[in-house]
Amino acid sequence: MTNAPRSAADDAPLRLLPKVELHCHVEGTARAATVAELAAKHGVPLGVDDPDDLYTYESLADFLAAFATVCSAFVEAEDFHRLAYEAAEDAAAAGTRYREMFFSPGFHLDRGIRFDTMWSGIVAGIADGEADHGVRTRLIMDIDKPKGIGPAMALLEVARVADRDILLGIGGDSTERGVDHHMFEPLISEAKKMGLKTCFHCGEDGPAENIAIMVEAGVDRIDHGTRLLDLPDLVKRVVDEQIPLTSCPSSNVELNIVESLEAHPFAKQLDAGALVTLNSDDPTFFRFDLADEYERVASAFDFDEATMLKIRDNAIDAAWLDDSDKAALRAELGA
């Protein structure tokens, strides 16, 4: 990762701990140097002299604008290959061994990039990344919520041709503001009919009611779920049904969703019995990786080693693998 030095040392126990990550966007792993090089190759203006300056924002809205600019550097299949390959290289340095990773076609189709261009590049990049760096990656296709249900259903159609050993599910990201989450109920039910798993970003910059809507719609995981504790009946359901939350506490601090890590509800959600997991979301944008995230959360909440292991194991439980694959992963990652 070139955007910033890692804070958790190379030999820090939480860096060395083999980890599983369920909430990371491939475009959010793009290195500044790679973006600059590819933008120059394609003559795409980035609007900054120093590519590091792209990664600045004060809110989710600013962040999404920066995310779109970073996406604009990726044009050919080999660019997407490099993106996914470098994501695996950086994940290996964070101790990540298995990852279910988002990609966001909406940001690329808008620029005239074909689905097959990004898909073939990313699939080849994760295969080479696994061969060279030992990080197994599977994919989740994110729909861009503000575009509405029409483009979301159209993307689902495109996904019918994707290799289902690699594409495990679909998600929905971007802002919750001004988005009526009820509209995605048919998307979730159609995806389920296709045998895809489902998850949705919600309760991040929107209320806990959005989590309730998506739980009712039948999603398999909640991405973020930061506002969950605002609705006690919903907490009970999420805990009783062990619906996983893919939490990203440092991302929430960076995007001014919560004031500080100490003020983040992660520890209270864990105490309440929720199946919470720890994730980096967009590591190069936030200038940290998953190992740093484990270190920061352990230190903010004074979690001991057993608690950090439990959090890591929650991610194995929440992964979209069948029971025998989970058992194999558990045995492989050990304690």
Distance separating alpha carbons of residues 173 and 144, to the nearest angstrom: 6
How many other CB atoms sit within 10 Å of the CB of residue 41? 12
Shortest CB 206 distance to ligand ADE, Å: 10
Place of tokens 């992963």: 329
Q: Which is nearer to ligand ADE, 28 or 125 (CB)?
A: 28
Tokens of residue 181, six digits: 């989450």
Q: Which residues contact 51 (CB under 8 A, 6 or more apart)?
A: 32, 33, 35, 36, 39
Shortest CB 335 distance to ligand ADE, Å: 31
Place of tokens 């599983």: 20
User: Is the sign of the CA dihedral 104, 269, 335, 306 positive or negative?
Assistant: positive
DSSP 3-state assignment of 25? strand
Looking at residue 273, the DSSP 8-state letter turns out to be T
312 binds, among Zn ion, ligand ADE, none (CB under 5 to 8 A by kind): none
| Residue in 81, 201, 264, 296 binding ligand ADE, rule: CB under 6 A | 201
By CB under 6 A, residue 173 contacts ligand ADE = yes
By CB under 6 A, residue 246 contacts ligand ADE = no
Shortest CB 305 distance to Zn ion, Å: 27
246 binds, among Zn ion, ligand ADE, none (CB under 5 to 8 A by kind): none
By CB under 5 A, residue 281 contacts Zn ion = yes
204 binds, among Zn ion, ligand ADE, none (CB under 5 to 8 A by kind): ligand ADE
Q: Which is nearer to ligand ADE, 204 or 289 (CB)?
A: 204
Kind plus residue range of the DSSP H or E element containing 70: helix 60-71
Q: Which residues contact 98 (CB under 8 A, 6 or more apart)?
A: 20, 21, 135, 136, 137, 319, 329
Q: Is 204 a catalytic residue?
A: yes
Burial 88-113 (b: 16+ CB within 10 A, else e): bbbbbbbbbbbbbbbbbbbbbbeeeb
Q: Which is nearer to ligand ADE, 69 or 174 (CB)?
A: 174
Q: Which is nearer to ligand ADE, 81 or 201 (CB)?
A: 201
Amino acid letter for position 127 = A
Residue ranges with strand state E in the chain = 19-21, 96-103, 136-144, 167-173, 197-202, 221-224, 245-247, 276-278
Residues numbered 19-78 forming contacts with Zn ion, rule: CB under 5 A: none
By CB under 6 A, residue 144 contacts ligand ADE = no
Residues numbered 52-91 forming contacts with ligand ADE, rule: CB under 6 A: 60, 67
By CB under 6 A, residue 281 contacts ligand ADE = yes
By CB under 6 A, residue 204 contacts ligand ADE = yes
Q: Which is nearer to Zn ion, 281 or 289 (CB)?
A: 281
Q: Which residue is nearest to ligand ADE (CB)?
A: 173
By CB under 6 A, residue 282 contacts ligand ADE = yes
By CB under 6 A, residue 28 contacts ligand ADE = yes
Residue 160, classified by CB atoms within 10 Å of its CB into exposed (0-12), middle (13-18) or buried (19+), is: exposed
Residues with catalytic roles: 204
- Residues at the interface with ligand ADE (CB under 6 A): 25, 28, 60, 67, 173-174, 201, 204, 251, 281-282
What is the contact surface with Zn ion in residues (CB under 5 A)?
A: 281
